Each structure stands twice: as C-alpha cells, then as structure tokens.
C-alpha cells in the first residue's frame, strides 16, 4: 500500500470529504446464510475515511471511549498507510479491537461527539478500528506484549466474556498467574453465545482466546463457580490470592402473561445460545435440538431482539417483531434496526402482547396483542405506551422474548459476603471494582446489568489495575461498597468520566 499522501489537507477540506460507506452483502443474499454482513473497508476507503479526521487537540471521541483508545493517533497511522501500527496503537488500551470494531455502539459513544459530525457525518471510527484489526489478523502483524516477571500471585477469573478476558489479559501482562473459569464449553461469553456470526464471526473470538493462551492464561471449561467450587474454595483451597467476577447478566426477563410457559416460548438467551453455541440448527449432527418455527414472533426491539429476528429469518422462518412503543423509541442501535428492516421482517409497532394462545398440547399457536398509543412526553421527554382496549390476534408457532436480562445470581446466592442491590446487581466500590468480600472484585454486566462489550472491558481494566495493587499490598483496606439496596450503577460515572456517553441504563423493553 502506498505511504504517500499527496499534500496536506486543510481542516475545511477534511470536513467536506464524503463519508466512506462500508459495503454490505445484499439483503436477499444474506438472509440465506450466516456469513458476515458488512464486508469491511478496502485500503483506499480506509485512507479516505481517515483523511476526514481533524486530529483534534482535545479529542472528545477519546473522552467518550470507555477504554480511552487514542483515536486520532490510530486514525493518523491509517491515513499514513500503516494499518499494522494503527492496530498496535488500538491494542495499547483495547484487547479486543476486531470485536469492538464490529459491535461497539460507536454511534452513541465516540462517533456521537466527533466534531466532524457537526457539519457532516462523523468519522467512521468503528469501521476504521475494524479495518486496522482485520489487517493485523490477516497479515499476522501482532506483536505480543512483554510479560512482567512472575509475581508468584494467582488470580481466578470467573466468566470468559469481554470483562473476564480483558481482566485476564491485563493481569497476565503484569506477571500474575491467571486462570479463567467458564461455565460453558467455550470462551467468549455473549460474544459467542449471544451475538450471531453474521455480526461477529466466531473465529475472531477464538483467535483472541488462543492469543491469551499463548500469553500463559489458562482456561478451565464446564466449571460453574458457586455450584462446583465456591469463592471460599478458590481463595482458601485452590490457592488464589484474588478473584475477579465477570459472570455477566444472563438471567432473562420474561413476560408474565397467559401462555408464557407454553411449548415454543423461548427467552432470547436460550434461543440464541441453542443456535450460536450449541449449533442446534444442525441437529441431529449436533445434540441440541431447536423447534424450527414457521412463524416466529419476537417480543422487544432492542439489539438482542434484532439478533433474534435476523437469526430466525436465516433459519427460514417468517418473522414478526412486536413492540409496545413505536419505531422511534426502539432501543436497538440504528444500524442494527436498519439491517433488520432490510431483511424482510414484519413489524408490529405499538403492539403489546397480552396472551400466547396454545393448542391442546400446550404448543403456542397464536399471539394476542393490545394496540397501544403513546402518551405526551413526560418530564424526561419519554413517551409511554398507553392501552387502547383494541386487540388483535396473529398466528405463530414460536415466541422469543427479548426483554433484557438480569445479573447471573449463582455466585451472590452462594456467598452472602458478596453484597448485591435489590435487583441482584453486584455492588462494588466504583473506583476499584472491589466487592464487599475481601480479595474479590467484579466488573462487566455483573455490576451494571445488561450493558455493552466496551463498558464491560472498561470496568475490567479498572478492576485489574486495582487487583494488581491489592496483590502488591498497595490498595486501601476499606473499599467504599454502597450499602443502599436501591443503589444502581447507572447513577455512577464509571471510569473517571470515560463512559459519559455510554452511561449505564437499566434495560426496559
């Protein structure tokens, strides 16, 4: 690739350069398979997009990134024709660049505050991150970090989602022995069991796991901490000096309406896990079955709902989304909603399910909904759905509820020293991610409820830095863990303000 830039561009010229649109597979083609939908930038597109960055002296984009990536720094390197160096720059603060370049909600974080966005479309930071990370993968340019001399300390990481993996990386680089305990037979958390292949190919996560293993991190699979070993077992019998809990929020919220327990009614987590992790769509080649519905009703309109809708479509079903608010209030990222809309999904906005009607064998056969209208905006500007008393019924043979998730309860329920709030979220000292149990730290969805990959990683980095201090005897002894059971992490400003635009919200469907 040429490293020549013809002449310096003025800021005015940069602002007026057109945004480079990443090519996508055509909808009619992509609904037939699980191949990745966006195809990535070409070298020329990446340089052209990088030229749009003004290299701000006080870059708001960096402040809005939960892990503080040097965004202008890596974009400059792409502009100079050096994507390998750009990838190294991203890796200084982000251990999962290929995943984050694909799934981070940049439109709500770094790109939302990009100054170019005031006059034109913001710089495509996520697409450029993906480009650099893919270049590194395809050209094998990754240089492993220097591992500090062994400290002789051992850390147990519970859960191998983005929080657990980031904590493992940070702690291993600092010279600690790290063992990751994972309940499933495969590492990656939601990135492998929730997010479908057409958004995040499995091999990307597998490469990240292999990389961690090459650095000396050990993985123990099929190990449910809390059931098989407790926190005390890890600290007292197994010889660990500290523990990080990154067990996520995998407990699905369900509607409590007639028919919820019928055959054919799934939570989004179960539906996606069966397909993504257990390969149920290939039954009987793989042992987990999945009832292959002809008409699938998906309840909710968040990112997870978009994943379910698009997955069910790829399995050949007719798919309909039911949501009690209007499209304007749909919590899904605009890009995910657009992709789903292109893929021949049916939409029932302002439709609140009130019953799943079953046949004589208790299989769901229809969905009954009440039509809703939106109220005037309240003080917060939010319009709430109001019932109209009008109902409609439609046929379906599968229902998938995608109504958010709560924190996995196994560990707090088996160790009462780990304090939780009234929603079951693990309480931590926000500056150190220490829990109320000595030597135990937590991060990711376990301390926020369902959130994002990058926020989970940001908290894991905070926790890892504190664990390192703890192991060196440099951490304060009195963690400030909230005691008010109503305290919710959404009120906190995590990561010293880095998460300004990704502030946690409790998921409401």
The answer to the question of residue 157 lying near ligand SF4 (CB under 6 A) is no
Q: What does 419 interact with, of ligand FAD, ligand SF4, none (CB < 5 to 8 A by kind)?
A: none
Partner whose binding site includes residue 331, from ligand SF4, ligand FAD, none (CB under 5 to 8 Å by kind):
none
Q: Which of 66, 72, 105, 302: binder of ligand SF4 (CB under 6 A)? A: 72
Q: Which option in ligand FAD, ligand SF4, none does residue 352 bind, with CB closer than 5 to 8 A by kind?
A: none
| Residue 377 burial (CB count, 10 A) | 10
Could you tell me the two tokens for 352?
């609140």
Task: Report the residue number, 17 or 465, with the smaller CB distance to ligand SF4.
Answer: 17
Does 77 bind ligand SF4 (CB under 6 A)? Our answer is: no
User: What does the alpha-carbon distance between residue 482 and residue 420 come to, in Å, rounded to a whole number?
Assistant: 9
15 part of the interface to ligand SF4, by CB under 6 A: no
Name the DSSP class of 278: T
With CA atoms as reference, report the closest residue to 208 among 126, 95, 132. Answer: 95
- Rule CB under 6 A: is residue 195 a binding residue for ligand SF4? no
Q: Which of 61, 59, 66, 58 is nearest to 493 (CA)?
A: 66
CA 459, chain centre distance (Å): 13
Minimal distance, residue 104 CB to ligand FAD, in Å? 5
DSSP state of 327: G
Provide the 3-class DSSP secondary structure of residue 345.
coil
Closest CA to 53 of 105, 110, 6, 133: 110
85 vs 220, beta carbon nearer ligand FAD: 220
Q: How many residues bind ligand SF4 (CB under 6 A)?
A: 14
Among ligand FAD, ligand SF4, none, the one that 194 touches (CB under a kind-dependent 5 to 8 A) is: ligand FAD
**In sequence order, what DSSP letters do the residues of 278-302 get, joined into one string?**
T-GGGTTTSS------SEEEEE--S
* Residue of the chain from 40, 59, 458, 479 that contacts ligand SF4 (CB under 6 A): 59
Task: Report in angstroms how near the CB of residue 388 gets to ligand FAD at its nearest.
Answer: 31
By the rule CB under 6 A, 53 interacts with ligand SF4: yes
Least distance from C-beta 57 to ligand SF4, angstroms?
Answer: 9
C-alpha torsion 166→168→172→173, nearest 10: 0
- Supply the minimum distance, in Å, between the C-beta of residue 194 and ligand FAD: 3
Residue 480 Cβ, how far from ligand SF4 at the closest point, in Å?
34
Report the length, in residues, of the chain. 509
Site of tokens 């302002």: 350
Q: Which is nearer to ligand FAD, 88 or 408 (CB)?
A: 408
- Contacts (Cβ under 8 Å, ≥6 apart) of 222: 182, 183, 184, 185
**Cα 111 vs. chain centroid, distance in angstroms?**
17
Choose, by CB under 6 A, the member of 67, 87, 125, 466 that binds ligand SF4. Answer: 125
Decide whether 163 or 364 has the Cβ nearer to ligand FAD: 163
Binding partner of residue 99 among ligand SF4, ligand FAD, none, CB under 5 to 8 Å per kind? none
Min dist. Cβ of residue 435 to ligand FAD (A): 14
In the complex with ligand FAD, the residue whose CB is nearer, 160 or 320, is: 160
Residues of this chain that interact with ligand FAD (CB under 6 A) are 103-105, 158-164, 181-184, 189-190, 194-195, 223-226, 246-248, 250, 272, 303-304, 307, 408, 410-411, 444-446, 450-454, 456
Q: At what angle do helices 453-471 and 162-173 cross, to 10 degrees?
A: 40
The whole-angstrom distance between residue 348's C-alpha and the CA centroid of its chain comes to 26
Q: What is the C-alpha separation between 315 and 279, in angstroms, rounded? A: 12
Q: Where are the alpha helices (DSSP H) in 174-323?
A: 190-193, 202-214, 231-232, 268-276, 303-314
Q: Which stretch binds ligand SF4 (CB under 6 A): 50-58, 195-203, 209-217, 403-411?
A: 50-58
Residue 278 binding target from ligand SF4, ligand FAD, none, CB below 5 to 8 Å by type: none
Tokens (6 digits) for 469: 């201090």
> To the nearest whole angstrom, how small is the minimum distance from the Cβ of residue 456 to ligand FAD?
4
User: Residue 100 CB, nearest distance to ligand FAD (Å)?
Assistant: 8
**Phi/psi at 436 (nearest 5 deg)?**
-80, -5
Considering only CA atoms, which of 457, 471, 436 is closest in space to residue 170? 457
- Extract the runs of DSSP E, i.e. beta strands, from 283-350: 295-299, 318-322, 346-348
Residue 71 sits in the site that holds ligand SF4 (CB under 6 A):
yes
By a kind-dependent CB cut-off of 5 to 8 A, residue 254 interacts, out of ligand FAD, ligand SF4, none, with none
Q: Is 123 in the site for ligand SF4 (CB under 6 A)?
A: yes
The minimum distance between CB 59 and ligand SF4, in angstroms, equals 4
**Cβ of residue 494: shortest distance to ligand FAD, in angstroms?**
13
Q: Interface with ligand SF4 includes 229 (CB under 6 A)?
A: no
Query: 107-119 burial, b for 16+ CB within 10 Å, e for fewer?
Result: bbbbbbbbbbbee
Q: Is 312 in the site for ligand SF4 (CB under 6 A)?
A: no
Q: Which helix (H) or strand (E) holds 353?
A: strand 351-358
Binding site for ligand SF4 (CB under 6 A): 53-56, 59-61, 71-72, 114-116, 123, 125
């Amino acid at each position: 690739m040429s490293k020549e830039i013809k002449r310096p561009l003025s800021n005015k010229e940069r602002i007026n350069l057109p945004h480079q649109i990443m090519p996508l597979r055509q909808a009619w083609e992509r609904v037939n398979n699980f191949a990745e939908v966006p195809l990535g930038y070409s070298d020329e597109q990446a340089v052209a997009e990088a030229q749009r960055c003004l290299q701000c002296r006080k870059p708001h984009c960096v402040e809005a990134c939960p892990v503080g990536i040097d965004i202008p720094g890596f974009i400059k390197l792409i502009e100079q024709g050096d994507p390998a160096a750009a990838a190294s720059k991203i890796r200084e603060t982000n251990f999962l660049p290929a995943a984050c370049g694909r799934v981070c909600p940049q439109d709500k974080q770094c790109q939302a505050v990009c100054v170019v966005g005031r006059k034109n479309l913001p710089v495509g930071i996520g697409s450029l991150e993906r480009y650099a990370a893919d270049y590194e993968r395809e050209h094998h340019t990754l240089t492993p970090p220097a591992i500090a001399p062994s400290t002789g300390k051992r850390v147990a990481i519970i859960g191998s989602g983005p929080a657990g993996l980031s904590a493992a990386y940070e702690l291993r680089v600092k010279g600690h022995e790290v063992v990751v305990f994972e309940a499933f037979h495969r590492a990656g958390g939601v990135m492998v069991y929730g997010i479908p292949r057409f958004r995040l190919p499995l091999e990307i996560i597998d490469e990240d796991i292999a990389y961690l293993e090459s650095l000396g991190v050990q993985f123990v699979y099929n190990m449910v901490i809390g059931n098989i070993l407790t926190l005390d077992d890890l600290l007292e019998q197994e010889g660990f000096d500290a523990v990080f809990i990154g067990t996520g929020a995998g407990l699905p919220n369900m509607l409590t309406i007639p028919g919820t327990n019928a055959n054919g009614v799934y939570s989004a987590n179960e539906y996606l896990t069966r397909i993504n992790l257990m390969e149920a769509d290939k039954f009987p080649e793989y042992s987990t079955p999945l009832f292959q519905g002809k008409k699938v009703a998906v309840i909710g309109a968040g990112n997870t709902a978009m994943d379910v809708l698009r997955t069910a479509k790829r399995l050949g079903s007719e798919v309909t989304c039911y949501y009690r608010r209007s499209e304007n209030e749909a919590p899904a990222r605009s890009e995910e909603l657009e992709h789903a809309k292109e893929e021949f999904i049916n939409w029932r906005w302002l439709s609140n399910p009130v019953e799943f009607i079953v046949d004589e064998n208790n299989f769901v056969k229809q969905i009954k909904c009440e039509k809703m209208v939106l109220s005037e905006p309240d003080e917060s500007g939010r319009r709430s759905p109001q019932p109209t008393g009008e109902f409609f019924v439609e046929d379906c043979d599968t229902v998938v509820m995608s109504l958010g998730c709560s924190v996995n309860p196994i560990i707090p329920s088996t160790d009462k020293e780990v304090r939780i709030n009234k929603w079951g979220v693990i309480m931590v000292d926000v500056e150190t991610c220490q829990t109320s149990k000595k030597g135990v730290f937590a991060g990711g969805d376990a301390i926020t409820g369902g959130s994002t990959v990058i926020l989970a990683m940001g908290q894991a980095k905070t926790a890892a830095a504190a664990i390192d201090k703890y192991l060196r005897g440099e951490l304060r002894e009195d963690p400030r863990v909230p005691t008010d059971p109503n305290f919710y992490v959404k009120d906190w400003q995590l990561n010293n303000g880095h998460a300004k635009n990704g502030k946690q919200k409790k998921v409401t469907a």
